[in-house]
Structure 1
Amino acid sequence: MFYKRFTFRLILRLVIINLLGYLLFYLIKNTQLWFTIIGLSLVFIGSIISLYFYINEIRSDIKRFILAVKTRDHTLNFKNKTTKGSFPELYESFSDILQVHKQIRLEQEAMFQLIKTILEQVPVGVIVINNTQKEQNGHLEIAFFNQAASALLGVPAYKYWHRLKQHLPVFAHEVDQIVTGGKRFLELKIQDKFIQLSTEVMPLNLYGNHYTIISFQNIKDEIEQKETEAWNRLIGVISHEILNSITPISSLSDTINRMVTDKQNLTEDEMEDLKTALQTIKRRSSGLLDFVKDYRLIAELPTPILESHTIGEILKHIKVLMQPFAKVRNVVLDVEQTSSRITLQLDLKLIEQVLINLITNSIYAVEEMPNPHIQVSYRLENNKLYIEVIDNGKGIESDNLEKIFVPFYTTRKHGSGIGLTISRNIMKMHKGSIEVASVLGEGSTFSIMFNYI
């Protein structure tokens, strides 16, 4: 290794210098050989100077190497010294390190170009603001502005953030509102067209530099597609219900019309048939009217009035309300943890309606089961609070798990099909949700979820 060679040469030079110094001292003290003494003195001084340059050479080269690494200068090389230098192994190591450093730099640059190319091709707009680098006048610099961002916003790829703010103040204002991180949906008018953007902002600290990453995409087409699908499902259900009511009404009306046409008097049998037909028309008309009322009930839910209520209070109310109904149908209803002091902001009447709907559905689900049992309890998990209604009923087929939330869809003989739809809407108004898990033949678990912080 180079340090072994260096140590050997250094010790050898020091020994020679010491011997020369001792010999020079001896000659000066004991002889008059002045020419020899002068020559030996020059050799002694030359040896010292040689030692200095010998040590200073490696110090200078190490300094150059460190400077090259710091400044990422890959042009420096020590190839000539690897063969005839004082430390061939050291200089060879220097060359290898510089080559590896250069290779890493090239790989990083290639990866950067790959990521940049990918970001240029994705349909998501990406803007990266460098909060550390500023102009002399204090304007923030935009480190990256992809083509999708330019196309979605209808602006050129600006170099500075203040220019984009001047062009699109609404967009910049929305970004400033969520600069600490988060997501927003906003509508912008770009070139006389409205676009709906899902915008997300994420701060990032990287190697001492502070960045703000803004990503956004146009979700208008997706929203329109989902709206179309929802409308198609709703229209299909409404059409089915209306046709079921209108078809017999139309048929009976035609029958009545034939019965009374060109007749002055009706027989007793004909009068009975007429009464039956009119009663049927009335019944189907009432059914259609109830259907319309149910539809209005879904569309016109009241805005929640949020107040502080404990979980124990909610469960106590539900136990009082639903226990008699369950008892009449021979169903065991266990409402647990009614002493809980955990508090939530909610509309008590609306949440009670949700729980009434879920427990009622469970009661009907367990009616034909042996030992029908329903359990109501709550649990906390990952900053979320769940109130669960668990039954040992017949369960729900996997294909129907999502359908049960579609308006007017029901598997119950006399069900309206709006209870779960209303319940889901109420939970959305509380910024929560309804989750369902079911095993056919074993039972179902309906959970209403609240954010609990």
Structure 2
Amino acid sequence: MFYKRFTFRLIFRLLVINLLGYLLYYLISNTQLWFTIAGTAFLLLGAIISLYYYINEIRSDIKRFILAVKTRDHTLNFKNKATKGSFPELYESFGEILQVHKQIRLEQEAMFQLIKTILEQVPVGVIVINNTETAEESEEIAFFNQAASNLLGIPAYKYWHRLKQHLPAFASEIAQILQGGKRFLELKIQDKLIQLSTEVIPLNLYGKNYTIISFQNIKDEIEQKETEAWNRLIGVISHEILNSITPISSLSDTINSMVSDKENLDVSEMDDLKTALQTIKRRSAGLLDFVKDYRLIAELPTPNLESHTIGEILKHIKVLMQPFARVKNVVLDVEQTSSKITVQLDLKLIEQVLINLITNSIYSVEEKENPQISVSYRLEHTKLYIDVSDNGKGIEAADLEKIFVPFYTTRKNGSGIGLTISRNIMKMHRGSIEVVSEPDKLTTFSLVFNYI
């Protein structure tokens, strides 16, 4: 109601004070009525005191509200004053602000409990240290989840120095990366060796320094990865051996058919025989060297760069792969074998790449009515491209990047390593492999060399 409003009450009190002041002045100036003068003076003093307490009440309420916000006291209530007070809108706003503040606080508590519950469930040990205190004995552990307790075999200590006393080796390793970083630790906990992958992250929140330590036991994962690595290594070597042995076997069959039931060979047949034997010898030597290097250092051998012409490379590949393609009823067209363009490369390694690509193409076109594979080269700006194209089933767009991932394969009996090795070989030549595919129409793999 209007008469309860602050403005009305303030104006009313000021009018009363002014009237009493004027009356007191009049009585003192024009009369000798001392009892009336004293009574009027007391009334004026009471009105002034009432005005002071009235304004001070509002100031006190505002002070209480600010203190409640600062101390996060959500029990303060202004409902009565919002309906009966002089400032209903103000007190209603106070109530709404306190309610919103309470809701935010509850949401923060709920989120904290959610995160805490998640961290308690994950198999990763998490320790959070409050580094705000300078004294080492005062460094409090703000969070210590159950996984950390299980992995380290210790209770959830409240202070860091207690953990250091129990596990000095762990604390010493953490001190090495206290400013942030990762570290691999081997610790003996309760006569059991564990291998921990550990990460430390320093953090500053609202002027307080924290150190987050996370760690997990990777011993089982390492053992599993070692087993997988051995299996994959066997698959890699088998893949490379088969890819090279297959064309050699086909070439051997061709030679056998040339010399069987013949006592004499003419000059052209003798030249073909010599070329085939030289190719088998070179490819066998290359294969043996490749396997030997792979076995010894578990990675590709460093390229032995020499000058070779494109024609020489394509000619060797034609001689090596033509018999295998013929057996599969595939038309293999190797163009420009007379080219004199020279490039620095390791012939054995690049042959290995081309064997992989052509072999993949042969398997890709084997269900086609007119299977065709072409090998050619082109020059564009400062790049030299050797292209292997086929009209096979091609590669879907989603698989174009996956095909280079180790052990990813779309072929039934493939190992998924050929393209990975091929790309690594090209990287070692400071080149790359590019692929463009239109499924069931044309797929082209390109070996890209820098050519200046």
- TM-score normalised by the chain length of structure 1: 0.62
Equivalent position of 1:297 in the other structure? 293
Aligned equivalents of 1:389, 1:150: Cα separation in 2:
59
Aligned equivalents of 2:285, 2:376: Cα separation in 1:
39
Equivalent position of 1:184 in the other structure? 183
The answer to whether the 8 Å contact 1:391/1:445 transfers is: yes
Question: How many angstroms does 1:285 deviate by?
Answer: 13
Change (3 A) 1:154 1:397: farther
Whether 1:161 aligns to 2:160 is yes
Superposed CA deviations along residues 63-97 of structure 1, whole A, max 9, x for unmatched, are: 12211111112233334434444444433332332
Within a 5 Å distance, the mapping from 1:178-217 to structure 2 comes to 178-217=177-216
The answer to whether the 8 Å contact 2:197/2:218 transfers is: yes
Gaps of 5+ in 2: 246-260, 262-279, 316-334, 362-371, 412-416
The answer to whether the 8 Å contact 1:323/1:333 transfers is: yes
The answer to whether the 8 Å contact 2:200/2:212 transfers is: yes
The answer to whether the 8 Å contact 1:354/1:426 transfers is: no
Change (3 A) 1:375 1:138: farther
Aligned to 2:77, the other structure's residue is in SS state coil
Question: How many angstroms does 1:25 deviate by?
Answer: 1.5
Within a 5 Å distance, the mapping from 1:276-355 to structure 2 comes to 293-301=289-297, 330=336
Q: Number of residue pairs matched?
A: 365
Superposed CA deviations along residues 235-265 of structure 1, whole A, max 9, x for unmatched, are: 35667869x99xxxxxxxxxxxxxxxxxxxx
Question: How many angstroms does 1:286 deviate by?
Answer: 11
**AA in 2 matched with 1:15:** L
Question: How many angstroms does 1:168 deviate by?
Answer: 3.2
107-116 or 188-197, which deviates more: 188-197
Q: Percent identity?
A: 57
Question: How many angstroms does 1:121 deviate by?
Answer: 0.7
Question: How many angstroms does 1:110 deviate by?
Answer: 1.6
The answer to whether the 8 Å contact 1:376/1:389 transfers is: no
The answer to whether the 8 Å contact 1:390/1:443 transfers is: no
Equivalent position of 1:443 in the other structure? 444
Aligned equivalents of 2:224, 2:99: Cα separation in 1:
55
Aligned equivalents of 1:199, 1:377: Cα separation in 2:
47
Aligned equivalents of 1:438, 1:56: Cα separation in 2:
83
Equivalent position of 1:280 in the other structure? none
Question: How many angstroms does 1:371 deviate by?
Answer: 6.0
Within a 5 Å distance, the mapping from 1:122-141 to structure 2 comes to 122-132=122-132, 134=133, 138-141=137-140
Question: How many angstroms does 1:55 deviate by?
Answer: 0.7
Change (3 A) 1:193 1:202: same
Superposed CA deviations along residues 135-161 of structure 1, whole A, max 9, x for unmatched, are: 866532111111111112222212222
**AA in 2 matched with 1:97:** I
Equivalent position of 2:7 in the other structure? 7
The answer to whether the 8 Å contact 2:184/2:196 transfers is: yes
Within a 5 Å distance, the mapping from 1:42-441 to structure 2 comes to 42-132=42-132, 134=133, 138-236=137-235, 293-301=289-297, 330=336, 357=350, 361=354, 369=374, 372-373=377-378, 393-394=389-390, 397=395, 421=421, 424=424, 439=437, 441=442
Superposed CA deviations along residues 182-215 of structure 1, whole A, max 9, x for unmatched, are: 3333333322333232222222222222222222
**AA in 1 matched with 2:224:** Q
Aligned equivalents of 2:434, 2:121: Cα separation in 1:
39
The answer to whether the 8 Å contact 1:126/1:214 transfers is: yes
Question: How many angstroms does 1:424 deviate by?
Answer: 4.4
Aligned equivalents of 2:379, 2:166: Cα separation in 1:
60
Change (3 A) 1:38 1:390: farther
The answer to whether the 8 Å contact 2:311/2:341 transfers is: no
Equivalent position of 2:264 in the other structure? none
Question: How many angstroms does 1:405 deviate by?
Answer: 7.7
Let me know the Cα RMSD of the aligned residues.
Answer: 5.3
Aligned to 1:163, the other structure's residue is in SS state helix
Aligned equivalents of 1:358, 1:86: Cα separation in 2:
94
**AA in 1 matched with 2:293:** L
Question: How many angstroms does 1:130 deviate by?
Answer: 1.5
- TM-score normalised by the chain length of structure 2: 0.62
The answer to whether the 8 Å contact 1:357/1:420 transfers is: no
Aligned to 1:300, the other structure's residue is in SS state helix
**AA in 2 matched with 1:191:** Q
Change (3 A) 1:392 1:404: same
Question: How many angstroms does 1:180 deviate by?
Answer: 3.6
Question: How many angstroms does 1:116 deviate by?
Answer: 0.6
Whether 1:18 aligns to 2:23 is no
The answer to whether the 8 Å contact 1:199/1:214 transfers is: yes
